[in-house]
Amino acid sequence: MSKHNLKRQTPLKHICAFISHFFQQDDRLLLITIALFVGIFSGIAALVLNNALLALDHLLHGFRIYWWAFVIPACGAALSSLFLNKILKEGAGHGVPEVIYAVSRYGGLLRMRSAFSRIISSCLTIGSGGSAGPEAPVVMSGASIGSNIAKYFGLNDRQRVTIVGCGSAGAIASIFNAPIAGIVFTIEVILGEWSAINIVPIAVAAVSGTEVSRLLNGNQIPFQHRQFSIDLPDIISCIGLALLCCIVSIILTKGLRSMHRMVHHIPLPIWFRAAIGGCLVGLLGMFLPDVMGEGYHSIRYMIEGQYSTSLLFIVILVLAKILATTLTLGWGGSGGIFAPCLVIGSMTGLMYHHLITLLCPQINWVNAGCFSLLGMSGLISGMLQAPLTGIFLIVEITGGYEVIVPLILISVLSSTLSQFIEPASFYLKELIEQGQLLRPGTDKRVLSDLTLKEIVHENYICVHQDMMLRQFVEVIKKTRYYFYPVIDKKSGRFEGIVYPLEIRPYLFSSQLYDAVIVAQIMKTNIPTSTLSEDLNVVLKRMDRHQLSEIPVLSNNRLLGIISKETLLNRYRQELIVQTSQ
């Protein structure tokens, strides 16, 4: 029996060995296969949230007429906060920065519970009327699905990061029915790296995510619109719209951040804070119902040009939507900023259309719907500082390729202008402030990967402090170092360093040979480092003191030396290994 088994196993073993050898050399096929499934699963996750939101909206619709309806968003936000913070013990946040953080710091490792936590909590917040978007939560859930599948297959960090990107691409592609937007968003925002190895699996995931959405939900373009005839004045006027979008995006960014900071100091339980925020949004929504929820229905009206209202009202509406979003997200509700951005963007476009028709009524401007569409792109690009995402997303979700020229113009201008005022995008600002954004192939990435333990060397000779100069000269004669660490004979403590270059006059006067001891010629008070320190910090210290080497100590004992010479070699190797494909 056992012989029989052995016989049967041998060819299988050979095949396994062949497959493992094949994937070790080239893992593209493996990644593409996994990407296909990750795309399908994250696509399903996106659809689940989308349909749950629709169902919840339908369920609660009947209650909106009552006077106490403002409590509904409060309940939703409180439940969402309780669920996220108390039951699943996950921090708040809308998801995308968390995914970027995991990608840059932990090779894309995400917890399994993140795959559904944000979906449920954001469904409660948005479904009950909170002003937030479902996109960031599905990005997080797609990314977490990808990360855990990658973990199951025992993939390494680089492969896992690609699969995490596949999850996010599949989710965005599925929720918007927009495969290119999924690819571009992932590469531009999540990974920050365009490489041939990444793009193919991510594209596969985006396609499978889109297909899942089309099979289950039908091939719908979210914001269908009429034909636009765009003339030169319209294109030129885009410059002004870009500026306006930039201003609005800065107000939204600052508003969200300052609200978050302010609420953080309020001594109330988290769920209660979220309830207050929800309550305020509910009250605001009683007067301006368009500010509630994800707000896609109002975008449809605006793009179709059926949203006729006065300039003053639309200005109020923009401000109210910004306020509602900051109240929802800043006070502890769960959700993303993608959908609010699109809504505020389309309102801004509408506002701009009102403004230019008022200023130049003689020009035959293209209709308001076109400007709403351009406004969406401008605000997304300004907020995310990702112009390509802005362009492709709007082209795909509106099915309007004829607006591509002004779209490119406005996206690029808006993202450049907002970058000028606010150097980091909304998603990345906090990560950059904490020094946690480590894009592949950058100086920061290399320095954070190289640890002191990897570059410390013991290529030196120690001397004792009570050594006579004569003996020391003999040591110099026999060796060829340009520094000699001094160690206490009895305790082994590190005392200082002798630099032969700096004591040259003594070395040539033989009458001092028996009069001077090493302790008199060594340099003390030398800055030191420990193995646990960050290389970047140690390098800055070396630069500040103009040192080309620094001793590494542990409990006053010398462990080794960090020298810039070794560092340069290792840095170069690291850069080559990290950047070449």
CA 441/CA 577 separation, integer angstroms: 9
Name which of 365 and 481 has its Cβ closer to other proteins: 481
CA 326/CA 384 separation, integer angstroms: 17
Q: Are 148 and 112 in contact (CB under 8 A)?
A: yes
Pick the closest to residue 431 from 418, 416, 448 (CA basis). Answer: 448
Closest separation in Å from C-beta 172 to other proteins: 25
CA 176/CA 171 separation, integer angstroms: 9
Q: Are 409 and 242 in contact (CB under 8 A)?
A: yes
Name which of 303 and 455 has its Cβ closer to other proteins: 455
Q: Are 283 and 70 in contact (CB under 8 A)?
A: yes
Name which of 52 and 163 has its Cβ closer to other proteins: 163
Place of tokens 């320095």: 447
What are the φ/ψ torsions at residue 496 (nearest 5 degrees)? 170, -165
- C-alpha 86: how far from chain center: 25
Closest separation in Å from C-beta 578 to other proteins: 6
Q: The tokens of 385 are what?
A: 């500082």
CA distances from 38 to 99, 169, 187, 199, 523 (A): 16, 10, 16, 15, 60
Q: Which stretch binds other proteins (CB under 8 A): 35-43, 252-260, 470-478, 555-563?
A: 470-478
CA distances from 112 to 145, 154, 525 (A): 7, 15, 50
With CB under 8 A as the contact rule, the residue among 7, 61, 265, 478 that binds other proteins is 478
With CB under 8 A as the contact rule, the residue among 5, 227, 546, 580 that binds other proteins is 580
Residue 508 touches other proteins, criterion: CB under 8 A: no
Name which of 261 and 453 has its Cβ closer to other proteins: 453
Closest separation in Å from C-beta 21 to other proteins: 7
With CB under 8 A as the contact rule, the residue among 30, 36, 48, 107 that binds other proteins is 107
CA distances from 294 to 43, 196, 337 (A): 19, 35, 9
Q: Are 318 and 364 in contact (CB under 8 A)?
A: no
Residue 7 touches other proteins, criterion: CB under 8 A: no
Q: Which stretch binds other proteins (CB under 8 A): 43-51, 289-297, 393-401, 477-485?
A: 477-485
With CB under 8 A as the contact rule, the residue among 10, 20, 219, 530 that binds other proteins is 20
Residue 219 touches other proteins, criterion: CB under 8 A: no
Residue 12 touches other proteins, criterion: CB under 8 A: no
Closest separation in Å from C-beta 285 to other proteins: 48
With CB under 8 A as the contact rule, the residue among 156, 219, 224, 509 that binds other proteins is 156
Name which of 19 and 54 has its Cβ closer to other proteins: 19
DSSP result, 65-120: GSGGGGHHHHHHHHHHHHIIIIIS----S-SHHHHHHHHHHHTT---TTHHHHHHH
With CB under 8 A as the contact rule, the residue among 3, 4, 7, 480 that binds other proteins is 480
With CB under 8 A as the contact rule, the residue among 11, 91, 154, 361 that binds other proteins is 154
Name which of 15 and 87 has its Cβ closer to other proteins: 15
Q: Give, as ranges, the residues between 429 and 458 that touch other proteins (CB under 8 A).
A: 449-451, 453-454
CA 318/CA 314 separation, integer angstroms: 6
Q: Which stretch binds other proteins (CB under 8 A): 212-220, 364-372, 471-479, 502-510?
A: 471-479
Name which of 358 and 576 has its Cβ closer to other proteins: 576
CA 562/CA 575 separation, integer angstroms: 19
Closest separation in Å from C-beta 200 to other proteins: 16
With CB under 8 A as the contact rule, the residue among 34, 139, 155, 366 that binds other proteins is 155
Which positions touch other proteins (CB under 8 A)?
20-21, 24-25, 107, 154-159, 449-451, 453-454, 474, 477-480, 570, 573, 576-578, 580
